[in-house]
Amino acid sequence: MLITLLITLNENLNLPVLLHSHNSVNPGGLDEASVEMDEPRLTESLDSAIEILRHERKSGRIAGGSIKESFVELGVPSKLVIIGDIHGDITTLRYILNQINADVMLRNSRNKLIFLGDYVDRGPDSLAVLYAICSLKTRFPESVILMRGNHEAPIEFPFPSHNLPAEIIDHFGYQRGKLVYNEKILPFFHLLTLATLIEGSLLLVHGGVPTGSYDDTFREHLSTAGRTYTNNTIMEEILWNDPRQGIRNRDGWEYSRRGIGKHFGIEISRKWLRISKTRVIVRGHEPCQGFRIDHDGSVITLFSCQEPYPNFQAAYMSVNEQELKSVEDAVDLSSQIYKL
């Protein structure tokens, strides 16, 4: 009966076995808490975040930068913290937020906390993670940037490991769970950022950079990717691409063994650093031992969850303004990455 309900919720998805969870966090997601996650608590946090994200897109601004649809462009922050994939691991997220003293750091709008996406699935506490990041965005709207991962695009690019609907149904029942998923969570996902550029230093995406030729039009292509995904592969590639060594064909890329997205080589990375006038591509998407450097220091992968991936390490990046301005490559950034 449960399998039938889940398939009905989204007939395009082949959903796995339900994971049970009873953990949550208090508003802001900064402290330990043991309150049971309830629907009003979650929907209120989602509604608040959605309202803020819509306002940002309409106004075209965030403190220290600008927003054009799914593309954010920032000056160099006073302090920057980047968190990679979380995948329902609320325990590791709490630890990182406590380590960076987020409740104090984020009060200054010149500081920025950027999430690279993949908040849900695989781990047991996707709802608690959603509640935490929405609460952070609500409390500190000018300091928090929420990017979109491939796990936040289940309708556009269906994949088999999307167990979020199952977790929602377990908590709220089929009818209310379906409503929360379709009318709250999916609209929230659609408003998340696809690419963030930090002036002169970093280009942030979840998976990788697109392999097409854009040059002077790259800002327009990144900003419109969320609504043009049926006409081109830009959004798919941002969310699903991976860097690989040894790609020697003329195009500089090959089709991904994931069955979606592409593997891009060093020349693609160098091209994007040139046209965006940045030094390093920062991305998540792949489990690693906290971080991994590719393409001779052009790309760094950051991974920030442990519970769903016990054979890998979690880490986060914390870097100040002067360090960002002096970055030459990913090796420089590696000294600002903290493993758990």
The pTM of this model reads 0.91
> Is the pLDDT score of 212 beyond 70?
yes
Q: What is the mean pLDDT of residues 204-223?
A: 94
> Is the pLDDT score of 72 beyond 50?
yes
Question: In the chain, what is the straight-line distance between the N-terminal and C-terminal CA atoms, in Å?
Answer: 40
Query: 5 vs 135, which has greater pLDDT?
Result: 135
| DSSP string covering 234-294 | HHHHHHH-EE-S---STTSEEE-TTSSSEEE-HHHHHHHHHHHT-SEEEE--S--BSEEEE
**Under CATH, which number does the domain 2-339 receive?**
3.60.21.10
Q: How does pLDDT run across 146-167, given as a tens digit for each residue? A: 999 999 999 999 998 999 999 9
Q: How does pLDDT run across 224-256, given as a tens digit for each residue? A: 999 999 999 999 999 999 999 999 899 999 999
Q: What is the pLDDT of residue 36?
A: 64
List the domain boundaries for the chain.
2-339
Q: What is the mean pLDDT of residues 1-13?
A: 32
Q: How does pLDDT run across 84-114, given as a tens digit for each residue? A: 999 999 999 999 999 999 999 999 999 999 9
Q: Is 118 helix (H, G, I), strand (E, B) or coil?
A: coil
Q: Is 330 helix (H, G, I), strand (E, B) or coil?
A: helix
Q: Identify the band that residue 38 occupies on the pLDDT scale cut at 50, 70 and 90.
A: confident
| DSSP string covering 83-112 | E-B-TT-HHHHHHHHHHTTHHHHTTSTTEE
Report the share of the chain in percent with pLDDT over 90.
87
**Residue among 181, 187, 204 nearest 272 (CA):** 204
Rg (CA), the chain: 19
**Residue among 182, 159, 162 nearest 172 (CA):** 182
**Residue among 33, 203, 207 nearest 135 (CA):** 33
Q: What is the pLDDT of residue 34?
A: 34
Q: What is the pLDDT of residue 216?
A: 85
| Whole-number average pLDDT of the chain | 90
Long-range contacts of 11-16 (CB under 8 A, 24+ apart): 12/155, 12/158, 13/154, 13/158, 13/159, 13/160, 13/162, 13/165, 14/160, 15/160, 15/162, 15/163, 15/165, 15/166, 16/160, 16/161, 16/163, 16/166
Taking phi over 0 as left and psi of -120 to 50 as alpha, with beta for the rest, 29 belongs to left
Q: What is the pLDDT of residue 299?
A: 98
> Is the pLDDT score of 22 beyond 80?
no
> Is the pLDDT score of 33 beyond 50?
no
